[in-house]
Amino acid sequence: MVKVVFLGPKGTYSHQAAGQQFPSANDELVPADSIMQCFDTLLRDESVGYAVIPLENSTNGQVVFTYDLLRDYMLKALHQPQGAVGTQFSVVAEQFVLIEHCLISPVPRTTEEILKEAPRKIYSHPQVWGQIDIYTKRLFDKLGYAVELCNTLSTSIAVEECIQDYKEKGELSLAVAGSRAATTYNAHIVEPRINNEPRNTTRFLVLQRKSESSNILPCTNPTPTETQVTLISFTVKYDAPGALVDILVIFKELDINICSISSRPFRNPQDEHHWQYIFFLEFQSKPAIRLEELFTSLIARCDLLANWGTFYRNNKYYS
């Protein structure tokens, strides 16, 4: 049996991602209250083997909470010789979940009935609003006013909040979440698939505590070539012109394909340039790639370098 922590409560898209990676009925999927708690539980509770965390969305981009936690763990880690940083986690798999947001009511209602009852609140996770703004504008136009958009820690909590409003206050509030959340909490779908982009997808990473026994998980939906991807993060010398280009050139010289690159800011009180950036970069790992040569070259040109692990590319990345 494997114990896995995910961003809860039950019924979230993170719950679905965890179930995709760990489908066995013997596996225990444990909800956490926040992404930070997912990290903390994995680090401190040895009975937990893995954490499933959201990383990015095809419509809204980065899940900044996750990137910032990776950044913070990197900066807290002990610096090893030559600028390498020992990380506490390894990325061992990825999952993709198709996001199909639904307008949800605590009681059975049609769209026409909703318009007549004039709801005042819609609950959801803040990441959701930018994914459904075309729908909400159309809904507000029909209502003749703008409903208050209330942020919750997850889409499942949004469903719980609208149910609570109805039970305790007799108020009809709504929620935006997936159909799994509606089923889990016995709520009712008013309108399905209300997101702007019909193929809106969120990508999740599966983390494991770093140890000698850390292994890449088998891919649940592998690519035909079983492509592997490595995630690293690094900093460069702040005032050295071309410092970032020098890093990227290493990949070109070694014929390594970069899949993505992004950055997050951080403050370094020990440096005269307090405002700096950490870069996150993913690249394809193939058997022919000379990883030792790559990391030797990177360490020589980076201020700090962290290797977060190698994992199989999920075929849903291409579909």
Identify whether 26 is part of a domain: yes
- pLDDT of the residue at 83: 61
Q: Could you tell me which residues are beta bridge partners of residue 85?
A: 79, 306
Supply 118's token pair: 């004039």
Identify whether 196 is part of a domain: no
Tens digit of each residue's pLDDT (9 = 90 or more) over 32-91: 999 999 999 999 999 999 999 999 998 888 999 999 999 998 888 755 555 667 788 999
143 and 94 fall within a common domain: no
Widest CA span of the chain, in angstroms?
Answer: 67
Segment 25-29 mean pLDDT: 92
The more confidently predicted of residues 95 and 276 is 95
117 and 141 fall within a common domain: yes
Q: What's the mean per-residue pLDDT of the chain?
A: 89
Residue with tokens 């977060």: 308
- pLDDT of the residue at 78: 56
Give the SS3 label for residue 112: helix
214 and 306 fall within a common domain: yes
Number of domains in the chain: 2
Identify whether 222 is part of a domain: yes
Q: Looking at 160-257, which runs of residues are DSSP E strands?
A: 174-177, 188-191, 201-209, 228-235
Distance CA 181, CA 160 (A): 9
181 and 253 fall within a common domain: no
- pLDDT of the residue at 36: 95
257 and 293 fall within a common domain: yes
Residue with tokens 């340039």: 273
- pLDDT of the residue at 231: 96
The more confidently predicted of residues 59 and 169 is 169
Distance CA 319, CA 255 (A): 25
74 and 149 fall within a common domain: no
144 and 28 fall within a common domain: no
In the chain, pLDDT over 90 holds for what percent of residues?
68
Supply 263's token pair: 């950055």
166 and 61 fall within a common domain: no
Domain that holds residue 59: 3-98+201-317
Q: Which CATH number goes with the domain that contains 149?
A: 3.40.190.10
The more confidently predicted of residues 248 and 217 is 248
Q: Which residues, 6+ apart, have CB-to-CB distance to 150 below 8 Å?
A: 121, 122, 123, 124, 158, 161
Helix (H) or strand (E) holding 203: strand 201-209
26 and 166 fall within a common domain: no
Count of C-beta atoms within a 10 Å radius of residue 115: 14
At 224, the pLDDT band (50, 70, 90 cuts) reads low
141 and 126 fall within a common domain: yes
